[in-house]
Amino acid sequence: MKAAILEKGKVHVGDFPEPVPGEGQVLVRTHACALCASDAHFMCSGAEMIAQSERYGGPYAGIDLNRPIVMGHEFVGEILDYGKGSRRPLKIGSRVTAVPMMTTGGKIQIIGYGNELPGGLGEYMLLDENYILEIPEAMSDTHAALIEPLAVGLEHARVGEPQTNDIALVIGCGAIGLGVISGLKLKGVKAVIAADLDAGRRQVALLMGADIAIDPREVSPYEPQAGSGIGRPNLVYECVGKAGLLNQMILGLGSDARIVMGGFAADPEQLFVPPAQVKRLKIFFARGEERQDMELALAAIADGRIDIRPWLGQGIGLGGVAQALEKLNDPASPVRTVVDPRII
């Protein structure tokens, strides 16, 4: 099959063995796959990510960067077949997305980050039949490919235990932060403050439901927002992944506030504990989506509660993947670029 293949730190279009489904596995023809900042990070810093996983435990342990890898974990595809002995929960021809995990022999693998399980940047892929969700007929492939990244933000929002009287601050308006904003609005929180250095991302945050969007270099995000009627935040989501932000939040917040760490920082975080103790702060660590978050993301896109269109840039084929990944960390790039792997 044709695929965008990561090999020796570079992405190129080439041939990759077509996967064969085993028991409990679904063979899917991929219709669309969105590019994630994690893909760009893995392309540039895969060796470091693998080393950390092998040292501390994580999803990247055991990956061999000297062998070809097909990335892509935000996808939608059409069921072609099941492996022998599978339950076959959905009929052949159904369009599906899935939590991007495969359980084999009691071990969990992340689809798109391994040598044996090609991700959505190839023509075909394998999914775990226990994690697939059927896509409604009226939903486009492009929108369906954004269910997974939206679900991550919804999970992060949920972890903070949001209440209707909360004033929430979301630091960082990439895909995760935008998903958090969407999740908080679904929960009916009193107000959402979005903070980002980029004016374009602040505008998207407003489109996703933020009540106010600020540049934290100009206005303190931890104080009442002058002229808006929005008070001091008591629930903060870190969606940047930058060491040092945790202590900044601890010092900036008032008593009994809650912090959700959603960004993935590669550098160690130095935590100064006494201020957090004095203020009785709670710190949560978000991880990734569960099936309930995928189901909510799917339903909210389908019924219009969440309009995902502000995330989207121009679609591309496999031949555009390398260039798009190189530009992915530029805030001027769209939140999500969607690839059709059926197009070279």
* Digit-coded pLDDT (tens) for 32-42: 999 999 999 99
pLDDT band at 333 (very low <50, low <70, confident <90, very high): very high
- Percent of the chain at pLDDT exceeding 70: 100
Across 186-213, average pLDDT: 98
Q: With cut-offs at 50, 70 and 90, classify the pLDDT of residue 310.
A: very high
The answer to whether 146 and 35 are in contact (CB under 8 A) is: no
237 pLDDT band, cuts 50/70/90, is very high
What's the mean pLDDT in 70-82?
A: 98
Confidence of residue 191 (pLDDT cuts 50, 70, 90): very high
Q: Is the dihedral of CA 116, 68, 48, 97 positive or negative?
A: negative
Binned at pLDDT 50, 70 and 90, residue 334 comes out as very high
**Same topology for domains 2-146+312-339 and 153-285, yes or no?**
no
pLDDT at 212 over 90: yes
Instruction: Kindly state the average pLDDT of the residues 275-300.
Output: 97
Q: Does domain 153-285 have CATH number 3.40.190.10?
A: no
- Residue 322 near residue 3, CB atoms below 8 Å: no
Domain limits, the chain: 2-146+312-339, 153-285
Reference 146, options 237, 263, 240, 36; nearest CA is 36
Give the CA count within 13 Å in the CB-facing half-sphere of 281.
28
**Per residue in 117-168, pLDDT tens?**
999 999 999 999 999 999 999 999 999 999 999 999 999 999 999 999 999 9
**Considering the chain, what is the average pLDDT of its residues?**
96
pLDDT of residue 193: 98
Q: Does residue 65 carry a pLDDT above 80?
A: yes
Does this model's pTM top 0.75? My answer is yes
- The domain covering 2-146+312-339 belongs, at the CATH homologous superfamily level, to Medium-chain alcohol dehydrogenases, catalytic domain (3.90.180.10)
Residue 105 pLDDT exceeds 80: no
Whole-number pLDDT of residue 107: 81
**Residue partners of 343: CB distance under 8 A and separation at least 6:** 316, 317, 318
Q: Categorize the per-residue pLDDT at 247 as very low, low, confident or very high, splitting at 50, 70 and 90.
A: very high
Distance, in Å, from the CA atom of 89 to the CA atom of 336, rounded to the nearest integer, reads: 30
pLDDT band at 192 (very low <50, low <70, confident <90, very high): very high
Residue type, 155: E
pLDDT at 91: 98
- pLDDT band, very low/low/confident/very high, at 57 (cuts 50, 70, 90): confident
Answer yes or no: is pLDDT of 235 > 80: yes
> How confident is the model at residue 264, as a pLDDT?
84
User: Using CA atoms, how far apart are residues 222 and 236, in angstroms rounded to an integer?
Assistant: 9
